Amino acid sequence: MKQWNGKPYYSFDYMLRNRFGEKVYKVALNGRMSCPNRDGTLGTGGCIFCSAGGSGDFAADPSFSVTQQIEQQIEALSQKRPIRKYIAYFQAFTNTYAPVDYLERIFSEALRHPKICALSIGTRPDCLPPEVLDLLEKLNQIKPVWVELGLQTIHERTARYIRRGYPLSCFQEAVRRLHKRNLEVIVHTILGLPGESPEDILETMEYLNGQNIQGVKLQLLHVLKGTDLASDYEKGQFRTYTREEYLDILIACLEHLSPDIVIHRITGDGPKDLLIAPLWASRKREVLNLLHHEMKIRDTWQGKFYHK
Ligand code: SF4
């Protein structure tokens, strides 16, 4: 059985060890930006699942500078083990939604930190004007710059329900422009969105196989307090996956995705004090162990990964 550092899929951890020669950790940063889906430009409510923290609930305190945020997180992470390399992940809200000189200042500050080996920027495909792409292309010459795009689904009816605020064609064009500038793209997807069948989800995976992307995050749909998704959930308009259902669809996605695409994430939860459902999602280690066990005892996926 082909394995990537003990895991039966091309994991983020495996990619990082190969690329940087050792284990690398992420520091989650808050660049003090907003989002056009929240500030009234496109809407005020945000995506239906997005928490008040702009999907950056684990990011550092924005009242500190970028360097301070990095230092604080390094201090916390390195208490248990010695760590030499980190990725600066601008996570909260839309991290290219600001004047380009501001972006240059905060991204350069992160890249200057000696322990930062790469920059990962979470944003929307409709927030990548040419001057921002010029900047990212320039910074990519200094240290690797990755762009994380929140697609969630390729299906327009679901995109309307979650109030994503841009069509699939916008995503496709952004990926094309990023690829042209040699910027790596990581795509966020959500498994279990209301109204989506397993076939719908696999269509999203199939579509991604045809795009010039380098990584995917497979995120379990979770319902957080204070979101409009929570209101629909409380009205009984949909239910979340059981752990077994999630493992089934997750394995199907991993089987479906091209083995060249790095799997950056296969769970996802949110802060415990905000999580409404599914509550099993907070036991992440258990979910990962079960997934690896299941993938080892099922044999349908093996052939796919042997050629790697
Ligand atoms: S684009 Fe991101 S930050 Fe903006 S509302 Fe949607 S999930 Fe939240």
pLDDT more than 90, % of the chain: 81
- CA-to-CA distance for 137 and 131, rounded, in angstroms? 10
**Per-residue pLDDT tens digits for 131-169:** 999 999 999 999 999 999 999 999 999 999 999 999 999
**Closest atom, ligand 1, to C-alpha of 49:** 7
Residue 307's pLDDT is 34
- pLDDT of 158 reads 98
Cα 50 to middle of ligand 1, angstroms: 6
Compute the distance between CA of residue 117 and CA of residue 111 in angstroms, rounded to an integer: 7
Query: Are the CB atoms for 74 and 83 separated by under 8 Å?
Result: yes
Q: Could you tell me if residue 3 is inside a domain? A: no
Nearest-CA residue for atom 6 of ligand 1: 47
Pocket of ligand 1 from Cβ distances under 6 Å: 35, 37-38, 46-47, 50, 54-55, 93-94, 124, 150
Mean pLDDT of the chain: 92
Does any domain span residue 308?
A: no
Say whether pLDDT at 24 is over 60: yes
Please indicate, yes or no, if residue 45 is contained in any of the structural domains: yes
Give the model confidence (pLDDT) of 212-258 as tens digits: 999 999 999 999 999 999 999 999 999 999 999 999 999 999 999 99
pLDDT at 302 over 50: no
pTM for the complete prediction? Answer: 0.94
Arithmetic mean of pLDDT, 102-109: 98
Top pLDDT among 190 and 296 is at 190
| Nearest residue (CA) to ligand 1, atom 5 | 46
Does 180 fall in a domain? yes
Q: CATH code at 266? A: 3.20.20.70
State yes or no: pLDDT of 294 exceeds 60: yes
Q: Is residue 297 part of a domain?
A: yes
* 300 pLDDT more than 70: no
Looking at residue 4, its pLDDT comes to 59
In a domain, 197, yes or no: yes
Atom of ligand 1 nearest to the CA of 92: 3
Confidence label for 80 from pLDDT (cuts 50, 70 and 90): confident
- Give distance in angstroms: CA of 151 to centre of ligand 1: 10
DSSP secondary-structure letter at 126? T
**Looking at the 3D structure of the chain, how many domains does it have?**
1
Site to probe by mutation for ligand 1, drawn from 33, 44, 90, 94 as the one with most ligand atoms within 8 Å of Cβ, is 94
| Closest ligand 1 atom number to CA of residue 94 | 3
